[in-house]
């Protein structure tokens, strides 16, 4: 139970106890007993691997009704040491472990990928987490772009990456952008951070096959964009349509999740990011599990 819990948090990031219970492998029927175990992992300050196994990131108390919400947990160093000793992950220096300073962004990423894993399990598909996809590489990719006579050579840093293996054994890799509306869209200067620059780099990453060399695969890849505001999402899609001169794009997919926005809440487990169709610029919506 401990290994399954800590590995789930390593695969995704900070998650609520409800998500952790739903993702247990093998599953349990007794949720009350599992919640007690989570509290034990949090309170145990003399664990064999050095202190508590879990923490409760303090940012979750910023919500209006946090006392009525399920608790969100995150791994502490002891949990990663236990996983490494069990041969489930590679040993890592402390400065390479999950960052929790930007909790709401990390929690948003974790909920999206956890939702997709739950949907994969329900349909008998294999979800392959970031750790297995990257094989020790940092998720920073050199994707130089030239657009309208301007050149940019900075790296592209997706928020996450994972893969889905379908019944025929073929895999599709997915890069994830979890956007809490922290940057402008149509900023003309490529040297300035903007969503327009990300779109240009993702088109090159996928269309130019750069991801194949980075991931060491010949299989396909898509980009998932989750925004927290529908109007903002429409602006991004309109920008992509303009970049493609009205042709649209099939490899950048979009969904909106307002619950992670300006006034975030801790939500129950959902399969929406796996089961619901994703919007595409200029093309019909797509279900990533089909």
Query: Does the pLDDT of residue 65 top 80, yes or no?
Result: no
As a whole number, mean pLDDT of residues 129-134 equals 95
pLDDT of residue 252: 98
**Helices of type H across the chain:** 2-12, 17-22, 31-43, 77-85, 103-122, 130-134, 195-207, 210-215, 230-243, 272-275
pLDDT of residue 114: 98
* 142-156, 198-212, 214-228: least confidently modelled range: 142-156
Q: What is the pLDDT of residues 163-183, one digit of tens each?
A: 999 999 999 999 999 999 888
Q: How far apart (Å, rounded) are the C-alpha atoms in residues 148 and 158?
A: 24
- Residue 236 Cα to chain centre, angstroms: 19
Among 245, 226, 220, 238, residue whose Cα is nearest residue 281: 238
1-100: CATH number? 1.10.10
Q: How far apart (Å, rounded) are the C-alpha atoms in residues 159 and 181?
A: 14
pLDDT of residue 193: 82
pLDDT of residue 100: 58
Q: How far apart (Å, rounded) are the C-alpha atoms in residues 210 and 234?
A: 27
The band of 37, judged by pLDDT with boundaries at 50, 70 and 90, is very high
3-class SS letters over 211-254: HHHHHCCCCEEEEEEEECCHHHHHHHHHHHHHHCCCCCCCCEEE
| Sequence ranges of the domains in the chain | 1-100, 102-290
As a whole number, mean pLDDT of residues 115-130 equals 97
pLDDT exceeding 90 applies to what percent of the chain? 72
> Could you tell me if 73 and 54 are in contact, meaning their C-beta atoms sit under 8 angstroms apart?
yes
The three-class DSSP label of residue 161 is strand
Looking from the CA of 14 toward its CB, the CA atoms found within 13 Å total: 25
* 49-63, 210-224, 275-289: least confidently modelled range: 49-63
Question: Structure pTM?
Answer: 0.93
């Amino acid at each position: 139970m401990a290994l399954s819990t800590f590995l789930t948090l390593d695969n995704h990031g900070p998650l609520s106890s409800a998500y952790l219970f739903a993702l247990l492998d093998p599953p349990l029927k007794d949720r009350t007993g599992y919640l007690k175990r989570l509290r034990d992992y949090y309170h145990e300050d003399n664990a064999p691997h050095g202190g508590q196994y879990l923490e409760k990131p303090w940012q979750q108390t910023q919500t209006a009704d946090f006392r009525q919400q399920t608790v969100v947990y995150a791994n502490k160093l002891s949990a990663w040491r236990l996983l490494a000793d069990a041969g489930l992950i590679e040993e890592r220096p402390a400065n390479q472990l999950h960052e929790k300073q930007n909790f709401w962004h990390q929690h948003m990423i974790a909920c999206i990928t956890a939702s997709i894993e739950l949907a994969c399990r329900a349909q008998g598909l294999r979800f392959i987490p970031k750790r297995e996809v990257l094989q020790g590489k940092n998720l920073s990719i050199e994707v130089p772009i030239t657009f309208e006579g301007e050149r940019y050579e900075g790296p592209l840093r997706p928020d996450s990456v994972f893969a889905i293996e379908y019944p025929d054994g073929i895999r599709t890799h997915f890069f994830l952008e979890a956007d809490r509306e922290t940057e402008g869209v149509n900023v003309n200067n490529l040297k300035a951070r903007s969503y327009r620059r990300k779109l240009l780099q993702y088109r090159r990453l996928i269309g130019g096959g750069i991801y194949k060399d980075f991931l060491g695969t010949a299989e396909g890849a898509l980009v998932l964009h989750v925004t927290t505001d529908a109007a903002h999402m429409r602006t991004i899609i309109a920008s992509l349509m303009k970049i493609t001169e009205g042709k649209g794009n099939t490899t950048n997919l979009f969904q909106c999740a307002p619950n992670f926005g300006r006034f975030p809440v801790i939500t129950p487990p959902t399969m929406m990011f796996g089961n619901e169709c994703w919007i595409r610029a200029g093309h019909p919506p797509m279900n990533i599990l089909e």
